[in-house]
Structures are given as C-alpha cells and as structure tokens.
A and B are shown apart, each in its own frame.
Chain A
Amino acid sequence: MIKITNLEKIYRTEEVETVALNDLSFQVKEGEFVAVMGPSGCGKSTLLNILGLLDDPDAGSFLFNGVEVAKFNERKRADMRKKNIGFVFQSFNLIDELTVFENVELPLMYAGVKKSERKARVDEVLEKVQIMHRRNHFPQQLSGGQQQRVAVARAVVNKPKLILADEPTGNLDSSNGNEVMQMLTDLNEAGTTIVMVTHSEHDARYSHRIIRMLDGHTVTENILV
C-alpha cells in the first residue's frame, strides 16, 4: 500500500539546513500494523506528515496504492487525504468550538456524506469508543483519555484505509494508553493499515513490525509477529 524510495526532506531556515529524512526507503503492505521508533529529532513526525500527505518530500518517490503522490499539489493531496487517511495525534487536536459529535462528524461532512447517514455513522463509532454519553460535550469538558478516544473515533469514522498515529499514548496514563492501543489493534484486525510513531516499547509490541530510525533513515526492522 505504501512504497517509499530514497525519500529526502530538508528543512531550510536562514542559518541552518536540517536533513530530517535522508535516503529513506521502506514499504508497508495493506493490513499491516507498523510502529516507527527512534530518538527524538530523528525524523519520525516528518515521515508521518509525508505519509499523511500533509507535507511533500524534497526528493524520492512515494507510491500510495501504486499512485505516485510525491509531487501532488495541495488540492489533490487534500482530496486523497480525506478519502483514505485518518490521523491520531499525541495532543488530540480536537476543535474546541465543536462538540464531540460535531468533531467526529466533520470528516464525513468534508467527504460529502448525507446528513442521516452521518448521524448513524458517528453514533456507531462513538458507541464503539464508549463515549456516546458525552456526545454533546465540548472537548475541554473531557479527560485526556476521553479526548483521545474521540480523536480515534474521528480518525476512523470515514473508514480510512490507513491510520497514522503520532505518539497516540504520549499524553495518557498507562490504563488509558492501553485502551487506545486496544482500539487500534481492533481496527487493524478489521483490516485497517496502521502506521504508529511511538517512544514506548510496550506500545510497539502491539504492532507487527518495528521500523527503527536514526538521523533520518532506517537502521533496523524488527518483525514481531
């Protein structure tokens, strides 16, 4: 499903150039659950942003489902993104002005799903992440774990083929963290491909395969299964 070859990303500021990704290549197959690990600053988030089509690489190729997307323009990327990809962030990134229900509903609206169907689907995922009773609350009224469950619900509501998670448990305690990991596992078992960045060996053990990065390229790959 994902095939990147010789990917490169360089951040240029006035004084310095930072090579965030350096000649990075790997593949992720459909249905896989991959964890990306590595020290702070080695380029994990940069990689995830590129995989999620939020950012474009400076060089290299990125085949998504066999389509070369490395040179897509903003509009095409946005379109591809909304049809195929869901995101989960460490800091949840819910919209404070919207209720739980509306936050989850948003991707469906952008995808142009009809109102009646939207309601059914949102209710269904909220049920699944056990947050149904809080559907009309605003994000600030929820605990961190609850907020991350809403964020997961929002990521999956549009049934994306790929979920990208950047340290999804980073702001959570261990029991809340485990709950979220269990949800991701369930999603993966239902067929969704997952790429997850994490600092925790414990969380990485939920995945099938660990890609270890250092200074912008892969050093090892552990197959866990």
Chain B
Amino acid sequence: MFKKYFKTALRNLLRNRTFSVINVTGLAFALAAFWLIMLFVADELSYDRYHAKSDRIFRLVSHGKWDGGSFDITGTSGPMAAALKKDYPEIEATVRLDPTAGGLITYAQKHLRADDVFFADSNFFSVFSFPFLAGDPYSALLKPQSIVLTRKMAVRLFGTVDAALNKIVYFQNKQPEQVTGVVEDVPENSHFTFSAIRSFPADFNPDWSNFYLYTYGVLRDKKEGAALQEKLPGFVKKYLYSKGLDIKYDLELQPLTSIHLHSNVGYELGANRSMKFIYIFCIVALLILSVAVINYINITTARASVRLREIAVRKVIGSGRKDLVCLFLAESVTITIGATLLSALLAGAFMPVFNQLAGKSLQFWHFGPLQTVAALLLFAAVLGATGGLYPALFLSGFKPVPALKNQIGKQPLQALFRKTLVVFQFTITVVMIVATLVVYCQLRYMTHKDLGFDKNQVLTFRSDDENMRLKSKEFRNSLLADSRIEEVAFSGSPIGNNNIGMGSFNVETEDGAIDQNMTLAYGLAIDEHYIPTMRIRLLQGRNFNEAMLTDSNTLLVNAAFVKKTGWKNAIGKGIQMGRDASGKPVVKRIIGVTSDFHTYSLQHKIEPLVMHLPAGANEKTNVYVRVSRQDIAATTGFIGNVFRKFDAISPFEYNFLDRNFRKQYQSEEKQGKVLLLFTIVTIGIACLGLLGLITFTTAQRVKEIGIRKVLGASGIGLVRLLSTGLLKLVIIALVIAIPVAWLVMNKWLGDFAYRVHIRWWMFMVSGGVAFVIAGVTLSFQTIKAAIANPAKALRSE
C-alpha cells in the first residue's frame, strides 16, 4: 500500500513537470540555504566546547564605574587568581594569561614575528584541553623560560614537530626559551587563539591595581557558578577596596562557552559575535524555508481545479478521505525528498563560496555521513508532511458530486489564505532587499567617510628594534631621500586596529584652578611630523616643534576634548600629567587644537584625545610613511631596504592604513555579503513560486480568456485583467514591509556610532524591485494567455 502511494505520487509528479520542477528547485535552494545556515549556527554554538572541562571553566571580567566614566574590560589584576583559589574551595583551579608575550622569535637564522603569544600559569594545559604532539601537558610550563608551540609554529621554525622539542628559541633576540611541548593548532571555534604559550618569567610579580591579565578558573561543579558570583562583591571588598581602590568595581564570572556569543567588553581576545546575529541568521533560514513551503502550498491548492475530477472519481469508487490524504502526503514527501537530495548537492557546491563569504571552514559532512543523511531524510519527511498537510486536507475535502462536474465552487477562504501567503512572501522579500541596501550603504559610508585625516597612501609598520627607534631621525632622513616618500612620522600606539589606551586627567578650569574631578581621555604619543603626515587639520595654535626643548611640556588636544571641558580658549590651559620624582604634580600646557579624527573604527565615537611628544625613543614604536601615488610596489621595496639597514633581524611587515581601518568592518562586510546571497536566493524562490501560481491560475481561466477574446477583449485589457490582483498584493506587502524593515534596520544601525539614515529611496528601490519581479513573472503567463488562439482554449472542454 505504502509503495503504491509513492509509485502513484511519483507518476503524478513526473506527468506535471512544471509543477514538480518549480517545487523541487525552489525547495532545494531554500533547503540548501537552510543547511548552510544551520551548519554556520552549529559552528558558532560549538565555540570552546571542545575543552574537556568546558562547562566548568569561567572567565573573570572587570566592570568599573565612577563619576563621569566607566570601563568594561577583560583585564583583571594578577593576584586575583591565587586569592580566589585560596578563598573559595569550589574553585578547582585558576589560570592567568598575559597577552604581552608576543614579539620577535628567533631560531638559528630564522626570525618570525608572532603577536598571538601568551604567558600563562603552569596549569594552563590542564585547564584547557589542547592535545600534545610532543612533551607533557602537566610539566611543560613548570619552569620559567619554557615555551609550548603549536604545530604550525613548530613547523615554521623547525620544519617538523619532532625537531622542535628541547630546542632553544630567543624572544626579542635576548630571552632564551626552551621548547617543552608542541600542541595541535588551536581549533577555529575558539574565543582565543595562540601560536605559542610561554611560562611566566621567574620575577613576574603583578600588583592588585593593574588590570591587564586574563583570569580563567575551573569550578568543581558547574552548578556553583551562580553562587560564586554572589560572593564576588565580598572578594572585591576584601582585596581591592581595602587597598584603596576608589571606584565602584565588580567582577563578573563568564561561562567559557558563552564568551564567543555573549561577551562584548574591551580587550576581547578575538572577534566575538553577538547572539543577535545568530538569531537573525536563524530567522533568515526559517523565512527562506517558509517562502519555499508557501510556494508548495500555494501551487498545490491552486492546482486543485486541475485535479478535481481525479479526486472525485477516487472518492466515487471508494476512496476514503484518509486514502486521499495519504496519497497527497506521499506526493509532498516525494517532492521534499527529491528537493533534499538536490539541496545536498547544492549546499556542497555552494559551500566554498559560503565559507569564503562567512569566513568559516565549514564542512557539509560535519556530523558524519550517516547522521547527515538520516537527519536530511527525516527533516524532508517532516517538512513534506507539514507542508503537505494543508493541501492534502484541502484537496481531499471536495464533495464528489460537484467535483465530478469540475465545479470547484467558490473558495473565498482558500483564496484569501493564498493571497495572505503571497503577501507574506512579498513582505519577506521586500524586507530582505531593504536590509541588504541598508547594510551596503552603511558599509560604503564606513569605508568612505572622512576620518578626519587622509588614510590613503600611508604605509605603517612597527619598529621593534631599540637601535632603530633611537636612530629614528636618521631612519626618517634615509627614507625622505627618495622622492616617492612624502612624509615620515612616529607614534606610540598604532591607530585603526584597536583601542588606544585611555587615561584620566585633572584639567585646569576656566578660572585657572585644577579640577579635582578626573577627565577621561585617550592619550597618544606623536612626534612633530605626525600631524602633517596624517594631514590632520590644526584648528588653533601650532604643532609640536621638537627643536624647542620646552615643547616636551606641551600638549595638543582634539576638538572633542575642548568641547568636553567647555573651555572658551584652550590654548595655554594646563593638564596635570602625573607627578614627577619629587612628587610634585606635572602640569603641561596646551599649544594647539586639532580637528577630531578617528583612531578606531566607526563603531566607536570620537573621544577626547590628548597628544604629547614621545617621552623617549621607546615611545616611537609605530612608523607612518606617506608615499606618492606612483609605483607603490617599488616604493615599499625601497622602504624595506632602508628598514633592513637599520634592523637586519626583524621581518619587514607593513600594512596600509586604509586597509587597517577597513579590516574593522570585515564582520559587517561578511554579514552584508551573506545577506545579499540569501536575499538573492529568497527572491529567486519567491519568483519561482509566483510563476507557478500564475501558471495554474491562468490555466484555470483559459476558457474565460478564450470567451472574452471571442467577445472582443484586447490583449492589453487581458493582461490588465490578469495582473491587477497580484499587483494589489504587492502593494499590501509593501505597506507591511516598510515599517518592519525600518524597525529592524534601525536596530541594526544602532550598533554604529556613525551611521547612515534609512532613506525613502531605499524603500522605493525595494518596492520597485518587488514590482519588477511580479511584473516579469506575470508577463510570462499573461502575455502567453492573451495572445493564445481562443478557439483552442474553448475546444479543450
């Protein structure tokens, strides 16, 4: 019996090819998109779960608050780890990571720069699970000056994993470290990654007031987390307030597995994502799938007229409603299984593109071939049964007598239902088009917005060698000897790729006194060439002049700083910058005000900024070189040669400043591209469905059209007759979609400090696209129907 249903179903589907092709392709594309998104989501949810103790590991983060300022950072102070373990028996272990361990690694003649290196406590590898290829997890970091490399790092330095063990490498050319282990590379689904872990130096002794270490811990029982969080204020009181900390300070316990999707504080170790993004992705997946399922429902019920007689005859000769429902369900399940098989091929084919867009390395068979096939088939069956249920009940419900005469009867409810579904599809389509437009406009805005300085044609690199920093003047002159080099400048912090450090200052008020309240501002060390090199506008006063020795006691501030303090005239105002050796406060005077410029991406507001001359050569760590437009490759070659004359060891690794800034938008760019891809898929599927629907509703009206023509209706009149209904639906969809899209996209834009506004033309474009889609799809069938020979249509009865 079962086989029989499927045989009949298959034959029905083969006979009605248009119908089947539309349904199968639409569903297949939707399912392919669905699989891809599900794999993506599964990967996002799998972050950090590979550690054996993942459900018991937590991270501590800091929240500080005081009058006029606050911070939320990953940084914790060094002694916390030991104190926590001592005070709270529910903590099995604590481990600290220090992110300042990176730099130049040297083995024999090989020099590599590695920034993703951490110092860590010796129990690092018993808290986190990284499989050892050589060495022993428990003893590898016991001695100072030990280093554990990842496979990739070991191969880069030594050629093979085996060759690495017990070798000595040097950091910054002077600190020897012995390789005590090699671990597998860190999986991609980790919230932090490293190429090496070093043991802490023997003299490592951080104090309570310095919040820059990462502290992790392991609970004995994962259920203890909430209770422990309750006890932390007591901990802060005991160890921090007692030591004179005078801000409101809280420690937060973050479960390891929630960091990637839920944590968003300063100094995160990797690009976390937000759970919001995962929800959006899931919703998009469901929407695409529903568009395809709606196609099936709509086309199948619209086709009822064609199948009416078959249904009636089956009933007359004894078929119960149950048999008919089974038959129709068999048809829909057959279709979804066909679509599922096709979707697996499609998903496989699109996987590389999708991976590239989303920045992942997902694999279709991630869950194993057998599980995947079983899951796919099960899903297909469930989808077929649910998607097919309504059409099956609808079709099997016809009364046999009128059906025998091919009288479908008036189906006002059914027609309304179908229209609602079409409106729903169009609404989804329009919202997705608006969303894509907004994302693209925002991306364009971010990559083209004036940052307050000229980011183009600027090459930037680090100078690691102390000798080179000391000879910065000579280095600069050697570069400027070439006419293609326009300017060279040095600064303390790199801009464009991270937060530059914040400090708090006491500033002079209008009446000349020093304000006891702190003013929070970024601080940046720049030399006298920085302002001209970056083409930052000076609004007032003058630039630094290193020839004037007194300029080491002067400052530049940006316009935001002046605005915050409320000064009428900033020039000459003093800012207290710490205390000198004798304990006397050091007050520096402002000599100039620059216009505001971005030091980080547009997600961040421009904050008050204080600029001072580098205190010594060691603050000249970043070099900025403005080059002319011609022959950039040769110019960078030249810069490299000069660099090597001053520093023969460090590799010359440079970046273009505009690209550094652009990299901050990578995740938005990926979102944009992925969204575009799925919007196109959705539009395609909606078009297919519409085409199918129109094909069958027009077929239903063939006779009517024939009669109208015989009576003298014009082609245009018929096209209008057949189109108005659908166009009305598109308008309704627009009316619904506009506010929805506006709400959703404003929410998305809320994450950006600098953003585009949603404009009317975006809705017009989306509406236009929807109309064009509907129009083109309609024209296929209506024009065909309108120009067909009426005699033929009438004879077919």
User: Which A residues are within 8 Å of any B CB, using their own CB?
Assistant: 49, 52, 54-55, 74-75, 78-79, 81-82, 86-87, 89, 93-98, 102, 106-107, 109-111, 154-155, 158
Contacts and interface: CB of A to CB of B under 8 A. Distances in A.
Interface string B1-24: 100100010011001000000000
Nearest to B11: A97
B317 A82 contact: yes
B314 A95 contact: yes
Interface in B743-770: none
A107 to B, nearest CB: 5
B115 interface: no
B398 to A, nearest CB: 11
Contact of A110 (B11, B309, B310, B317): B317
Nearest to A87: B316
B310 A75 contact: no
Contacts of B11: 97-98
Interface of B is mostly: helix
Interface residues of B, number: 23
B319 A93 contact: no
Contacts of A87: 316-317
B320 A94 contact: no
B102 interface: no
Nearest to A55: B401
Contacts of B317: 82, 86-87, 106-107, 110, 154-155
Given A54-B315, A78-B315, A106-B314, 11 more contacts: A78-B319, A82-B318, A87-B317, A93-B312, A97-B8, A97-B15, A98-B8, A109-B4, A110-B317, A110-B319, A155-B317
Contacts of A106: 314, 317-319
Contacts of A94: 313
B560 interface: no
14 contacts: A52-B316, A55-B401, A75-B320, A78-B320, A79-B320, A93-B312, A93-B316, A96-B310, A97-B310, A98-B8, A106-B318, A109-B4, A110-B318, A110-B323
A106 B315 CA distance: 11
A95 B317 CA distance: 11
A81 B15 contact: no
B529 interface: no
B404 interface: yes
A55 B8 CA distance: 28
The residue in B4, B316, B319, B323 that gathers the most chain A C-beta atoms within 10 A of its C-beta is B316
Contacts of B318: 78, 81-82, 106-107, 110-111, 158
Nearest to A105: B4
Contacts of A109: 1, 4
B536 to A, nearest CB: 77
A219 B775 CA distance: 60
A75 B4 CA distance: 23
Contacts of B663: none
Nearest to A94: B313
Instruction: Please give me the 9 A-B residue pairs with the lowest Cβ-Cβ distance, nearest first.
Output: A82-B318, A110-B318, A93-B313, A107-B317, A54-B400, A78-B320, A55-B401, A107-B318, A49-B401
Contacts of A98: 8, 11
Nearest to B319: A110
Contacts of A95: 310, 313-314
B152 interface: no
B273 interface: no
B360 interface: no
Contacts of A52: 316
B321 A74 contact: yes
Contacts of B313: 93-95
A75 B321 contact: yes
Given A78-B315, A109-B1, A93 B320 contact: no
A155 B4 CA distance: 21
A224 to B, nearest CB: 29
Contacts of B319: 78, 82, 106, 110
Interface string B379-417: 000000000000000000001110010000000000000
A106 B320 CA distance: 12
The residue in A78, A94, A158 that gathers the most chain B C-beta atoms within 10 A of its C-beta is A78
Interface in B96-151: none
Interface in B1-60: 1, 4, 8, 11-12, 15
The residue in B315, B399, B400 that gathers the most chain A C-beta atoms within 10 A of its C-beta is B400
